[in-house]
Amino acid sequence: MGADQELVDALRAGDEAAFSRIVSEWSRPMLALARGFVSTDASAEEVVQETWLAVIKGLDRFEGRSALRTWVYRILVNTAKSRGVREHRSLPWSSLAGDDAGPSLDPALFQDGAWRAAPGEWPEHVAVESSVLAGEVRGELESAIATLPERQRTVITLRDVLGMSSDEVSDLLEISQGNQRVLLHRARTAVRGELASYLAHEGEV
């Protein structure tokens, strides 16, 4: 809590650099989180801005019972939820249905439970950050994420792209760890699959 108290003190004293820094950093997860509750990117942006205005005004009432970041994210979720209701967007986070149920990988890949053909090998430098391939792969990943069903997209973005913990994500989205894992699993399976077919085509060239 020491560093957090320092941050709160700095903000209350009007430290603009500290404020700019958290706005820039925290708005990434906040946008992804908001997008899980509202209908468009534009309204997610508005929710994030509205949240920061509420934070500015409410800073003096912050009691330090949770980390500042958690407090900010909670305000965001509440703001996003009421906005979602106004937009008549009803995508229940608590139940799994439709795109989020059933086996995640095509059953046709298996015969009697075993692979019909082993997954193709990936080039060794695919995970090397600086390689040209990694740049192209990032683009593939971005479009793979963009085409996921909404709840899967939100969970994989928060967990794997932004590195939030499973506790934090379950907590903010108000879903069980089990349901979160189901969404994450389906998302990861789909994204790995997209990447695999992209890399297979690369190999043919």
Partner 1 sequence: MAALTCQEMVEVVTDYLEGSLGWRDRRRVAKHLAHCTACARYVEQMRETLTLLGTVPVDTLSDEAQSALLDAFRDFRR
- For residues 183 and 100, is the Cβ–Cβ distance under 8 A? yes
DSSP-assigned beta bridge partners for residue 115: 110
Q: Which is nearer to partner 1, 85 or 197 (CB)?
A: 197
Q: Residue 31: which residues within 8 A CB-CB, separation 6 or more?
A: 41, 44, 45, 48
DSSP-assigned beta bridge partners for residue 110: 115
The residue within the footprint of partner 1, chosen from 91, 101, 105, 200 (CB under 8 A), is 105
Least distance in angstroms from the C-beta of 160 to partner 1: 4
- For residues 133 and 141, is the Cβ–Cβ distance under 8 A? no
Return the sign of the alpha-carbon dihedral for residues 8, 76, 179, 112. negative
- For residues 81 and 37, is the Cβ–Cβ distance under 8 A? yes
- For residues 38 and 45, is the Cβ–Cβ distance under 8 A? no
Dig out the tokens for 188 from the structure. 């990861």
The verdict on 200 binding partner 1 (CB under 8 A) reads no
Q: Which is nearer to partner 1, 88 or 116 (CB)?
A: 116
The residue within the footprint of partner 1, chosen from 78, 150, 195, 202 (CB under 8 A), is 195
Stretch that binds partner 1, among 17-25, 63-71, 74-82, 93-101 (CB under 8 A): 17-25
The verdict on 73 binding partner 1 (CB under 8 A) reads no
Stretch that binds partner 1, among 66-74, 75-83, 86-94, 134-142 (CB under 8 A): 134-142
Give the dihedral of Cα atoms 19, 24, 28, 29; nearest 10 deg: -20
Q: Which is nearer to partner 1, 85 or 170 (CB)?
A: 170
Q: Provide the binding-site residues for partner 1, judged by CB under 8 A.
A: 12, 14, 16, 19-20, 23-25, 27-28, 31-32, 45, 48-49, 52-53, 56-57, 103-105, 107, 110, 112-115, 118-119, 121-122, 126-127, 129, 134, 137-138, 141-142, 145, 156-157, 160-163, 166, 177, 181, 184-185, 188-189, 191-192, 195-196
